[in-house]
Amino acid sequence: MENTETQVSLDFAKECNYITSEKCKELLEKSEEVGRMLNHMVESPEK
């Protein structure tokens, strides 16, 4: 849930010209990667 909020904040920052489109894309990709990692950890806590 918080990851989605972060992505919304990144979109907002881009639209307000606080960050460039390229930086937004880079950070969104990292956010998605972290989301996948967290999801894997939740689904496989024994590892």
b/e per residue 12-21 (b: at least 16 CB within 10 A): eebeeeebee
Closest CA to 31 of 2, 7, 1: 7
Domain extent listing, the chain: 2-43
**22-45 pLDDT tens trace:** 999 999 999 999 999 999 999 998
pTM, entire model: 0.81
**Model pLDDT, residue 34:** 94
